[in-house]
Chain A
Amino acid sequence: MDWLIILTIGIPWLGAGLIWLLEERQSRLQHTLAVVFALAAGVAALAMLPSTTEQVELRIKIGSVFGDFTFVPDGLGVFLAVVATVVGSLAVIFSVDYMHGEAQLGRYYSLVLLFIGAMAGLVLADSLLLLFIFWEITALCSYSLISFYNDDPKAVEGGIKALIITQLGGIGLLVGALVIYAYQGDYQISRFLNEPEVLPTNMLSVMAFGCLIAAAAKSAQVPFHTWLPGAMEAPSPISALIHAATMVNAGVYLLARFYPAFEEVDGWTTAVISVGLLSAFLAALMALFATDLKRALAYSTISQLGYMVYAVGTGAIFASQFHLLSHAVFKALLFLSAGAVIHSVGTRDMRQMGGLGKQMPFMRAVFIVGALALAGLPFFNGFWSKELILEDGLHEGPVWAYVGMLAGAGITALYTFRMVWLVFYGERRGSGHIHEAGRLMKLSTGLLAAGTLTTWLLIGVFGEMLENTLIYHHLHVESAPTLLEEIITAPATLLALSVVAAGLLGWWFRAPLAGIAASFKPVGQAATSDFGFEWINRRVTDWTNAGANALRTTQTGSLNWNVFGIIGGLIVVLVILALGA
């Protein structure tokens, strides 16, 4: 077991190092090696599935204030490691076609593999400090891959923005780690979950809200969400892997992991529910008015992550993680097939597309599978998980939040249908030659489409795994037939389905409803400008940049000033020692 953990993290990192060393002209070898290493990591992660446990399986002694670096392969961690490595492998396979003939493949594949390893480490780590380190590595990979086309100013700006916002959020996590260390003497998450009482109440709430900020920044939740649409400058497989299926889930993972400890903190669950609700609802509206295909998908990711955050807030850990699984599969599918379309058409503007279904029948088929799952139609995987979240929300959560989430589900159906229609149906509005996607693109999207149709069958096994290994969460998950029957027969499902149907009908009868649509124009304008959040986030980024530039003047590079700084530091230390003694 312990060597499986090392392999899952180590294989991709080894691959990253090897591919980095290859020369530019060995691009075939780079492609092959990347696929081989990604697949091997996927196999190693899958091999962990049968032996999940809540025990510490790997302990690396670091010593002094760093404590031990421990790994616990419990159900939650292994499941997310599997998602990261398997979706990662599919994204890498897709990249072979997508990135064909691009320059600097070594940098691309190395960063992707580095990311896959770091993500697996993040979810398996049991030391909060180690988790923080992996957390920052994933942020670094995300930043450098968003800015992969580093001669494009928009890509560079998007990368910087993502980096700054997630780093600012990461401070919240660091504070949490230091608080744990201060009161517990080590960073062990499992020990902390066992007895969160070692922290005084006020410190516990500092930590709870620190983690919420970190999670909201990482999972692109309101008010930190605007970096995610900007991150769409990255190549499409990156958007599918990092900005839909894995890294953005780290925030939800963090909240779910610490839920047993933070549950009792005053106002925490309400705050989590509010963040989830706002993100789910506002982002759905923004997706409705987006004209850029990838941006529309990014907003929909924010919205779906909002559903997961909301589910954690209502205590439905299983529902949130189940939706995470469904979402990772169908959103990766949507992003990859959108990437194939964009690759073929050469633009991301949906107004330039239309009628592409005739030239790309395969991509249309898989995209529609993903879209139906996103809209929550039976019996795709998105249907089961979303209904589970809404049902738990109705029973456990406040009613105002439930109504908002339900409305969000309706808007989701509406914007999904609009997206499919604009891209694949109607008349072609752009010009240029369209070619069908490559073989490997079809392979990876085909596999994901098959997953979208079938992953809900795992509901029973998955529930059992979480129930057995997440001992601090005291989960109680029904068996698969009971769960499925419950979802189908619950009145909440009918309600949700009728809202979804209303959304679909809204798009179908958009011509007669044009008058109503016109009255929503101000909403649309507000939505395209991100309801003002974009402005705030841009200010934060600008201030951080300005502050960094101001601090640059302290780097004089002059010996005399450096010696002066050393003496100053020495005096400060001496004064502290004198006062402390």
Chain B
Amino acid sequence: MSTLTILAGGALALFAVGLYGLLITRNMIKVVVALQILVKAALLALVVAGKASDQINLGQSLAMTVIVADTVVAVIGLALAVQVKRVLGTMDLTELSKLRG
């Protein structure tokens, strides 16, 4: 089994963990964590795909771009979670969705 296959399998496993997290969690912080795991899976897949298709530069630069974008998502998501907790007193998504009209 080549290194690439192992790495691709790892990306798939990370992806599955992230999806599973999104599927079961109701806590906003945990949602952000699960999203991060999902994105890391995508990053890994990008690098692996770059190597596999002999375009290492392309794969890695795409990965760098995603890291930047992903940081913004994490920062805004966490800031939102903190504000929601402060104003509404809960971080449970089901509780929050009861607020809709």
Q: Kindly list chain B residues whose C-beta atoms are within 8 Å of the C-beta of A558.
A: 93-94, 97
- In the bound complex, residues from chain B placing their C-beta under 8 Å from that of A564 are 23
Q: Which residue of B lies closest to A562 (CB)?
A: B22
Q: Is B44 an interface residue (CB 8 A)?
A: no
Could you tell me which residues of chain B, from 16 to 58, have a CB within 8 Å of some CB in chain A?
Answer: 19, 22-26, 31
Instruction: Check A563 for interface membership: any CB of B closer than 8 A.
Output: yes
Interface of chain A, main secondary structure:
helix
Q: Which residues of A contact B22 (CB under 8 A)?
A: 559-560, 563
Q: List the A side residues contacting B24 at CB < 8 Å.
A: 560
Which of chain A's residues 546-581 have a Cβ closer than 8 Å to chain B?
Answer: 557-560, 563-564, 567
Report if A567-B94 is in contact (Cβ < 8 Å); known contacts: A557-B100, A559-B31: no
Query: Cα distance A563–B15 when bound, in Å?
Result: 13
Residues of B within 8 Å of A563, CB to CB, are: 19, 22-23
- Residues of chain B within 8 A (CB-CB) of A560 are 22-26, 93
In the complex, residue of chain A having the shortest beta-carbon distance to the beta carbon of B28:
A559
Is the Cβ of A567 less than 8 Å from the Cβ of B19?
A: yes
**What residue of chain A has the Cβ atom nearest to residue B97's Cβ?**
A557
Chain A residue, CB-CB nearest to B23: A563
Chain A residues contacting B94 (CB-CB under 8 Å) are 558
Return B6 CB to nearest CB of chain A, in Å: 22
Complexed CA–CA distance, A557 and B31 (Å): 15
* A68 to B15 CA separation, bound complex (whole angstroms): 40
A559, A560, A567 interface centre (most CB from chain B within 10 Å): A559
Q: How far is A559 from B31 in the complex, measured between Cα atoms in Å?
A: 9
A interface footprint on B77-101 (CB within 8 Å = 1, 0 otherwise): 0000000000000000110010010
> Nearest A residue to B98 by beta-carbon distance?
A557
Interface centre among B23, B93, B100 (most CB of A within 10 A): B23
| Complex CA–CA separation, A560 to B100 (angstroms) | 17
CA distance A560 to B31 in the complex (A): 10
> How far, in angstroms, from A564 to B23 measured CA to CA in the complex?
6
Give A560 to B23 CA distance when docked, in angstroms.
5
B21 CB, min distance to chain A CBs, angstroms: 9
How many angstroms from the CA of A564 to the CA of B24 in the assembled complex?
Answer: 10
Contacts of A557 in B (CB 8 A): 97, 100
* Cross-chain contact A559 with B19 (CB below 8 angstroms): no
In whole angstroms, what is the CA distance A560 to B97 when docked? 12
Chain B residue at smallest Cβ distance from A567:
B19
* Chain B residue with Cβ nearest A564: B23
CB distance from A198 to the nearest CB of B (A): 41
A558 and B31 CA atoms in complex are apart in Å by 12
**Interface 0/1 of A15-49, CB less than 8 Å to B:** 00000000000000000000000000000000000
How close is A7's CB to chain B, nearest CB, in angstroms?
43
- A567 close to B23 (CB less than 8 A): yes
Q: How far is the CB of B7 from chain A (nearest CB, A)?
A: 21
Shortest B41–chain A CB gap in Å is: 14
How distant is A554 from chain B, measured CB to nearest CB, in Å? 15
- Distance in angstroms from A539 CB to nearest chain B CB is 31
Across-interface contacts of B19 in A (CB, < 8 A):
563, 567
Please give, as numbers and ranges, the residues of chain B lying within 8 Å of A567 by CB-CB distance.
Answer: 19, 23
Contacting residues, chain A, for B26 (C-beta < 8 A): 559-560
Distance of A347 from chain B, by nearest CB (Å): 38
* B-side contacts of A559, CB under 8 Å: 22, 26, 31, 93
> Which residues of the other chain, A, contact B25 by a CB distance below 8 angstroms?
560
Alpha-carbon distance A414/B79, docked complex (angstroms): 75
**CB of B14, distance to nearest CB on chain A (Å):** 15
Provide the residues of chain A in CB contact with B23, threshold 8 Å.
Answer: 560, 563-564, 567
A558 to B97, CA, bound (A): 7
In the complex, what residues of A have CB within 8 A of residue B100's CB?
Answer: 557
A557 to B97, CA, bound (A): 7
CB contacts (< 8 Å) of B93 on chain A: these are 558-560
Identity of the chain A residue whose Cβ is nearest the Cβ of B22 in the assembled complex: A563
- Residues in A neighbouring B31, C-beta threshold 8 A: 559
Q: Mark A298-332, 1 if CB is under 8 A from B, else 0.
A: 00000000000000000000000000000000000
Q: Which of A225-276 contact B (CB under 8 A)?
A: none
In the docked arrangement, what's the CA distance between A563 and B26, Å?
Answer: 12
- When each residue 126-157 of chain A gets 1 if its CB lies under 8 Å from chain B and 0 otherwise, what string results? 00000000000000000000000000000000
The 8 A CB mask of B1-20 against A (1 = contact, 0 = none) is 00000000000000000010
A557 to B94, CA, bound (A): 9
Residues of A within 8 A of B97 (CB): 557-558
Q: Which residue of B lies closest to A556 (CB)?
A: B97
Q: In the complex the two chains form, what is the Cα distance from A385 to B50 in whole Å?
A: 72
10 contacts between A and B (CB under 8 A): A557-B100, A558-B94, A558-B97, A559-B22, A559-B31, A560-B22, A560-B23, A560-B26, A563-B22, A563-B23
Top 9 closest pairs, chain A to chain B, by CB: A563-B22, A557-B97, A563-B23, A559-B93, A560-B23, A557-B100, A558-B97, A564-B23, A567-B19
- Given known contacts A558-B93, A559-B22, A563-B22, what 9 new A-B pairs fall within 8 Å (CB)? A557-B100, A558-B94, A558-B97, A559-B31, A559-B93, A560-B25, A560-B26, A563-B19, A567-B19
